[in-house]
Amino acid sequence: MNWKKTLFSIGIIVIILVGGLTMFNVANQKVVNQDYSLSKFTKVDIDIPTGDVVLKAGNKYHVSYSGLEKNVPKVEVKDSKLKISFKNQITHIRLFNFKQLNSKIVIEMPKEQLESLNVDNSNGNFSADYLAVKIGDIDLSNGNIDIKDLKTKDGISFDTSRGNIRIERSNATGYDLDTSLGKITISGKKYGDSFEKNSDSRNVLEADTSLGSISVN
């Protein structure tokens, strides 16, 4: 039994050392705030390994970033498409859930309909006060999706392995919702772990989470 205690003690020591090194590394890295003034865009493509993404309504096309200097993203508009990606594709593992490891990207644009929205993020949340898009796909590995006002034309898909999905208002004509470990709530009524209605219509809201709940009002 002593060897088990020894292995357990070694494991604890390793975790403490890794945590200490992580805190030291983060504390010694520069945090920056960066702004990007952009031309008009009608499509958005985001491919990042970590960071929260916030979409907000405004009177200009603008992106701001706050986070570690080494993770400053590449931001460009080409052929009316806004592309955001990290120069160094390194995913931070939230072993100790250090908030300072995560970055934040805020996208500001007028209340106009996007032609398309594609988000691929391994570790971070996505939120929007207002989102109007013809068709969209938001795929998170670890994060919550929170949209207050959603307007779509040809449907939208939300997918997160670990996180909640909440849509306060939507003009969707159909639903296809699934969760493995969580609850589904539609307009205040609970439907267990699966809900499908008019899933063959043009404007379907699809949502899937493995560990989390789905709420649509």
Number of H helices, E strands in the chain: 1, 19
189-204 pLDDT per residue, tens: 999 999 999 999 999 9
Q: Phi and psi (nearest 5°) for 27?
A: -65, -25
Task: Determine the average pLDDT of the residues in 138-152.
Answer: 97
Tokens of 87: 């120069």
| Residue 89, pLDDT above cutoff 50 | yes
State the pTM of this model: 0.83
Tokens of 120: 């691929």
Classify residue 108 by burial, with Cβ atoms within 10 Å: 0-12, 13-18, 19+: middle
26-45 pLDDT per residue, tens: 455 789 999 999 999 999 99
What is the band of 101 on the pLDDT scale with cuts at 50, 70, 90? low
Q: What is the pLDDT of residue 62?
A: 98
Q: What is the pLDDT of residue 9?
A: 53
Which amino acid is present at 7? L
Angle at 125 between CA 96 and CA 210, to 5 degrees: 85
